Structure 1
Amino acid sequence: MTAHIAALRRDEDDVDPFSGIAQRLGGLGVEIADLSGIVADLSAIGVRQGRSAGAAMAAAEQMTRTTASLSRSMQSSRDSAAETRTILGQSAAAVSSVVDRTAATMETLSDSATTFMTSLTAVDGTLRNVQSASAAIELVARETKLLALNASVEAARAGDAGRGFAVIAVSVKELADQVQRFSAQNAQHLATLTATLSNLMRASEENAGAARQAIVEAAAAGEASKTLHRLVDSVGTLVDGIDAMTAPVEQSVTAFAGVEAELKHLVETVGSAQAMLGTAKARSDSILDISEDSMRFVAESGVETPDTPIIDLVKHKAAEIGAAFERAVASGQIGMAQLFDDAYRPVAGSDPAQVMTGFVPLTDRVLPPIQEPVLAFDRRIVFCAAVDRNGFLPTHNLKYNQPQGADPLWNAANCRNRRMFNDRTDLGAGRNTHPFLLQTYRRDMGGGVFALMKDCSAPIFVRGRHWGGLRIAFEV
């Protein structure tokens, strides 16, 4: 602003008072436009900051809830682990007691089975001795029976002299028969007893083996009992670890609650700043509108300003476009409904998005011969293009009217035709019905660099109906 004021003061003696006022208003408009752009940037930054602060607060709230949930889960886990430790401790003690008693019982059973097996072995030896004696008795009985038979034969030969001996021989034979019968019965009983004893010995051996296996398993159970005790100790360590972690988690809950409160305050502060920036933006736009109205008033009063040639040019070219549209309607090239078509149809695959309407073929034929020569009128002119009342730009200057390619960034800079432009400047130019409108705005050059521009526009009428406006944008 200082540079513009200094320039105006240097030229103050070279212009008439009204021209000086116009120059001052022009400079003021430029500075206000710059200020309005800066306020808009700050407002956009405030919006982004508000979103970031809101997102941070939401994240802090979520972290608070998560940490609180973690604290509750840890307490629940601690209680469960403590209960588990108690139950396992009781179970380990009970299991250890049972295992110890079982091991003692198994050892006693093993000793008893071994002793019983030793006794059975001794009985088996005695039984074998009895079998040997029984066999010897049976042999004696057979030999006695044979001897009695021989005695009977000799007694018979002796006649009456051997009759008494014969009686003795018969008695001896009967005794031998009885001994043989008893010996046979005894042998059967011994055989049965031997079989029974064999079964007992096999069962005793199996019992002894089972007892020995039970002792081994009891030892394994003892190891399991020790493992269970170690598990109890591990659960105890886990409980201690959870107890140690609880304090930091509780501290985190408190800290996150504090962060959440600070972020909430920050969001409120950013919201307040955003509201104030919005108010400042509205006020600066209002001041800019007043400045632009003042410039239009000065220009319409006949005062010559540096922008007067471009104002006259845009008014003349807008009237020329209106006349060309009227001739197209009169000749039947296009109907009024098609010329004022606002059913914007998207162009598939376009990026940035382009749209089509019924009047684009006509503007592609009619507008270039009118718009292109304007670029050579003044070296400050950047573009000349017509927009309809909704900010739709159907046909741009040829250098900005390129077919779209695969790069959206290149398209944005070189394919500006068939695009909707609905910011303040674009809509102002399309909807203005005054003889002309001179606006000042900042043009984004990329990389955070902005250039101050002026946009001079004049309305386009077709048979008394407002179609849109012709824009001439030029550097300040």
Structure 2
Amino acid sequence: MLKSLWKMAPSLAEGVPAAAAVAAAVPPQEATPVVGRLAQHASRLGREAAEVRGVIDDTHKTATAQAEAARELARQVQDVARVQQVIGSHTEHSVVAVARAREAVHAVGSEVTGIVETLRKVAEAASDITQIALQTRLVAFNASVEAKRAGEAGRGFGVVADAVKDLAARVEASSKDIMGTMAHLDERIGSLAREIQAPSSSPAGSAAKAADQSGVHAALDAVAEQVTRIAAAAEQSRGACGQLDQQMAVIETDMRQTSRALDTAIQRSESLLKVSEQLIEMAADSGVVTEDTPYIQAVQQAAAEVGQLLEGALQQGSIKLADLFDERYAPIAGTQPAQHTTRFCPLADRLLPPVQERMLKLSDKVVYCIAADRNGYVATHNRQYNQPQRGDLAWDTANSRYRRIFNDRTGLASAQNQRPFLLQTYRRDMGGGKFVVMKEAAAPITVRGRHWGGLRLAFRF
């Protein structure tokens, strides 16, 4: 249906003048039913066009949000890839560091082995000293014996021999202590050397090699293995992120194309909607009474009344002209949807409700009647929609519609219209995902010959 409506839009636009010419050529007594039927068909066409445009607009917003989400996801994927690259770089450095640590441990092992060899030489020297001390003690013992045999002549030599014997005994005891200590130290350092020395390659396989490995090298091997696994996982994940990034780029491109297609669809639906509105306005402007005529006449009279009320306020000095045309919309903090105030708000709250509320009684089809300045700002709404915000976005959107700027397509067109009347068809957001398709008749509000805004009268089909 949407494609057929798009195709119809240019032909309908071209057919508007032709339809007007045909209507003008029809005799007055026959023109009334023709124009009436034309207005009915245009009204139905406008309703469908507004519905289609609203759906396309919603889809466009969703596509735009999804495109932004896709771009954000692509950025996050790229961030993850960069982090994984850093991880890979660090793990490579870690592997090198483990290798250096292994070399350092091996070097320490070699040094410890040298220390063991030196200690063994010291132990051998201590053993030699012990042997010499033992021999010295024997010689001193023999000398002592001979000195005793020599009697008084050998007494001095005997004293020296005894001293040498005692000294040799102490040397022998010290050498034995050194040898005992060296043996214990040799055992301890040997164990350390075996612990930190790198194992030789084992032909029996990795199991035998693991069994022969020292604790230090086994720990180093475990660290190296884990670091290698981390590096491999980071590389694999980086590859996956690269593929995902490529897929996200394709998705983003497709979504941009979808967004552009929806932009075109919105433009086409806008053209179709304008055609239907032109047909409805032509029917209403032809002088033939249609179902929209009462609303158009009522909004024109009410707009003139509002203009007179505002001029009266100026004459009475209730407000200055600059304040009445104030465009410095001051945001009200903490409001969502955003609300604003202007210097003419107190006057609007006092003068507009009687006119706006009276218009609601025109028909049970009337939804609202509001005065908006030329920028779409609505100072005061109908009492039903003039409720203070509660902090619930859905409820506030539907019920707190005063002090807000409605600069959408329909609101801005009605506010800026300076023709005798404007008739539009649109889909209104009621909040909470609810929408209502309706018509809106608008008439300009003029104060001292200056366009102030427009009075908007919305009613159901």
Shorter-chain TM-score: what band?
0.7 to 0.9
* Aligned-partner residue type, residue 350 of structure 1: T
- Which residue does 1:39 correspond to in 2? 56
Query: Closer, same or farther in 2 for the Cα pair 1:60/1:348, shift >3 Å?
Result: closer
Question: CA shift at 1:288, angstroms?
Answer: 1.7
Matches within 5 A, 1:15-30: 16-30=33-47
Alignment pair present for 1:65 and 2:82: yes
User: Residue 117 and residue 410 in structure 1: after superposition, are their counterparts in 2 closer, same or farther (change >3 A)?
Assistant: farther
Alignment match, 1:424: 409
The alpha-carbon distance between structure 1 residues 101 and 459, as it changes in their structure 2 partners (threshold 3 A), is same
Whether the aligned pair in 2 keeps the contact of 1:109 and 1:211 (CA below 8 Å) is no
Alignment of 1:105 onto 2:121: yes
- Tell whether 2:311 aligns with 1:343: no
The answer on whether the counterparts of 1:343 and 1:357 sit within 8 Å (CA) in structure 2 is yes
Contact 2:144 2:158 in 1 (8 A): no
One-letter amino acid of the structure 2 residue matched with residue 21 of structure 1: L
Please name the residue that 1:219 is paired with.
187
1:7-22 aligned at under 5 Å gives the runs: 16-22=33-39
In the alignment, which residue of structure 2 is the partner of 1:169?
none
Question: Compared with structure 1, are the counterparts of its residues 255 and 445 closer, same or farther at alpha carbon in structure 2 (3 Å cutoff)?
Answer: same
SS at match of 1:16: helix
Change (3 A) 1:210 1:238: same
Structure 1 distance, partners of 2:278, 2:332, is 38
Aligned AA for 2:181?
Q
User: Unpaired runs of 5+ in structure 2?
Assistant: 3-29, 199-213
Tell me whether 1:261 sits opposite 2:246 in the alignment: yes
* Amino acid across the alignment from 2:316: S
Asked if the contact 2:113–2:190 (Cα under 8 Å) also holds between the matched residues in 1, the reply is no
- Asked if 1:470 is matched to 2:455, the reply is yes
Q: Is 1:274 equivalent to 2:291 in the alignment?
A: no
Separation (CA, whole Å) in 1 of partners of 2:78 and 2:41: 54
**Equivalent position of 2:313 in the other structure:** 328
Aligned AA for 1:338? D
Hey, what's the Cα distance between the residues in 2 that align with 1:380 and 1:273? 38
Alpha-carbon distance between aligned partners in 2 of 1:209 and 1:419, rounded to the nearest angstrom: 102
Is 2:395–2:432's contact at 8 Å kept on the other side of the alignment?
A: no
**1:258-305 Cα deviation digits (max 9, x unpaired):** 332222122111111111111211222232223223322221222222
Letter in 1 for 2:457: I
1: CA distance between counterparts of 2:420 and 2:105?
A: 95
Work out which of the residue numbers 347, 350, 353 in structure 2 matches 1:365: 350
The Cα of 1:434 is off from its aligned counterpart by: 1.5
Distance change in 2, residues 1:400/1:107 (3 Å): same
Shift in Å, 1:197: 4.5
Q: In structure 2, how many angstroms separate the alpha carbons of the residues matched to 1:204 and 1:360?
A: 117
User: Could you list the per-position Cα deviations for residues 163-218 of structure 1 after superposition, in whole angstroms to 9, with x for gaps in the alignment?
Assistant: xxxxxxxxxxxxxxxx6xx95x6688679x47x945x7656645544543343333
User: Using the alignment, how far apart are the partners of 1:275 and 1:127 within structure 2?
Assistant: 122
Paired residues in the alignment total 416
Higher alpha-carbon deviation: 306-315 or 75-84: 75-84
Whole-angstrom CA distance in 2 between matches of 1:206 and 1:444:
106
Q: Determine the C-alpha separation between the residues in 1 that align with 2:136 and 2:340.
A: 112
Per the alignment, do residues 187 and 384 of structure 1 end up closer, same or farther by CA in structure 2, a change over 3 Å counting?
Answer: same
For residue 336 of structure 1, report the CA deviation from its aligned partner: 0.6
Q: Residue 20 of structure 1 aligns to which amino acid in structure 2?
A: R
Secondary structure of the structure 2 residue equivalent to 1:442? strand
Q: 1:373 to 1:123 in 2, by over 3 A?
A: farther
Amino acid across the alignment from 1:475? R
Q: How many Å separate the matches in 2 of 1:210 and 1:409?
A: 94
Structure 2 counterpart SS, 1:469: strand
Query: Given that residues 116 and 189 in structure 2 are in contact (C-alpha distance below 8 angstroms), is that contact kept between their aligned partners in structure 1?
Result: no
Contact 2:372 2:453 in 1 (8 A): yes
Query: Distance between the aligned counterparts of 2:143 and 2:301, measured in 1?
Result: 147
Change over 3 Å in CA distance of 1:218–1:337 after alignment to 2: same
Counterpart residue type for residue 121 of structure 2? T
Higher Cα radius of gyration = 1
Contact 1:339–1:358 at 8 Å: present in 2 too? yes
TM-score by length of 1: 0.76
Q: TM-score, normalised by structure 2?
A: 0.78
The sequence identity of aligned pairs, in percent, is 33
Once residues 361 and 334 of structure 1 are traced to their aligned partners in structure 2, the CA distance between those partners, rounded to angstroms, is: 10
Aligned equivalent of 2:368:
383
Asked if structure 2 preserves the Cα contact closer than 8 Å seen for 1:438 and 1:454, the reply is yes
Give the unaligned 5+ runs of structure 1.
3-12, 139-178
Q: Shift in Å at residue 390 of structure 1?
A: 1.2
**Aligned partners of 1:351 and 1:449: how far apart in 2?**
18
Partner of 2:65 in structure 1? 48
Q: Is the CA contact 2:299–2:443 (under 8 Å) kept in the aligned structure 1?
A: yes
Equivalent pair of 2:299/2:456 in contact (CA under 8 Å): yes
Residue in structure 1 matched with residue 282 of structure 2 by the alignment:
297
> CA, structure 1 residues 118+332, in 2 after alignment: closer, same or farther (shift >3 Å)?
same
- Map 1:82-97; keep pairs closer than 5 Å: 82-86=99-103, 88-89=105-106, 91-92=108-109, 94-95=110-111, 97=113
- Residue 111 to residue 33, structure 1, CA distance change in 2 (3 Å): same
3-state SS of paired residue (2:338): coil
Q: 1:18 to 1:85 in 2, by over 3 A?
A: same
Spell out the pairing of 1:163-202 with structure 2 (5 A cutoff).
193=163, 197=166
Per-residue CA distance 1:52-78 (angstroms, 9 max, x = gap): 222232233333434444444444444
Q: What does the per-residue CA deviation read over 1:403-457, in whole Å, with 9 as the maximum and x for residues that have no partner?
A: 3445455443332221222211221221111222222222234453322122222
